[in-house]
Amino acid sequence: ETGVTQSPTHLIKTRGQQVTLRCSSQSGHNTVSWYQQALGQGPQFIFQYYREEENGRGNFPPRFSGLQFPNYSSELNVNALELDDSALYLCASSFGEANYGYTFGSGTRLTVV
Amino acid sequence: GENVEQHPSTLSVQEGDSAVIKCTYSDSASNYFPWYKQELGKGPQLIIDIRSNVGEKKDQRIAVTLNKTAKHFSLHITETQPEDSAVYFCAVWGFSGGSYIPTFGRGTSLIVHP
């Protein structure tokens, strides 16, 4: 059984640009959620998808958007990047709508300059 | 929204000692309380969790206790080993906007000295 894989592992972008991060969920999982983890902080919930529908969202602006595909992989898109968007972005997958029992990926380190 | 406080922020112990990390939360409707371990360069790993209808759960050297009345829960690690050194996060699943969504604590850096 494969775990959660994220790509790319590191990324540098310029303020104002757009970025797409990718996540492949663990085999058998149908729920994906995304988190932003600033240095020295706990993960902050961005949103989650269950069977291709968004079913929960944290306190993030609309320029953070996402998709879940029929194979349950997912994308996180961030438009109009700001310096404060620099963080580790984590994807997690689980089975079921309630999204308990996460398996996390190792994350994408995004630096905005 | 949910407010989660985690203490202490840093915990230093000698190998073989016990370690206790505590989290408090604000929403009495919260129903799921997991603990995660995060090592350098890796994503968080679920180590133990507890539901709101259970007061205590144990898995070998790790245990979690939940006090719903006081709205706090704690992670207990006994017989600590150097490989337990990592950052530990608590999380609380609370109901918001029609879904249960998680709020994480700010983390505790556990250092186990050989």
pLDDT tens for A82-113 read: 999 999 999 999 988 766 778 999 999 999 99
For chain B, say whether A98 makes contact (Cβ under 8 Å): yes
Angstrom CA distances, A96 to A38, A110, B61, B86, B91, stand at 28, 29, 29, 29, 18
Task: State mean pLDDT over A57-86.
Answer: 96
Residue B73's nearest CA partner among B11, B31, B15, B101 is B31
SS3 B65: strand
Q: Contact B43/A92, CB-based, under 8 Å?
A: yes
Across the interface, whether the CB atoms of B44 and A40 are under 8 A apart is answered no
* Partners of residue B106 in chain A, C-beta under 8 Å: 40-42
B67 or B94, which is more confident?
B67
* pLDDT above 80 for B1: no
Q: Tell how many helices (H) and how many strands (E) occur in chain A.
A: 0, 11
Q: Is the pLDDT of residue A63 over 70?
A: yes
d(CA A90, CA A61): 17
Residue A59, CA atoms < 13 Å, CB-side half-sphere = 7
* Kind of pairing between the strands at A108-112 and A10-13: parallel
Mean pLDDT of all residues in A49-65: 93
- pLDDT per residue as tens digits for the range B9-54: 999 999 999 999 999 999 988 989 999 999 998 999 999 999 988 8
Partner-chain contact B42 A106, CB within 8 Å: yes
Averaged pLDDT for residues A69-94: 96
Flag whether residue B59 sits within 8 Å of chain A, measured between CB atoms.
no
Buried b (16+ CB within 10 A) or exposed e, A16-41: eeebebebbbbeebbbbbbbbbeeee
Q: Where are the beta strands (DSSP E) in B2-44?
A: 5-7, 10-14, 19-24, 32-38
Preceding peptide of A61 cis, ω within 30°? no
pLDDT tops 90 at residue A1 = no
**Closest-CA residue of chain A to B93:** A100
Sheet containing A19-24: which strands, arranged edge to edge? A5-7, A19-24, A74-78, A64-68
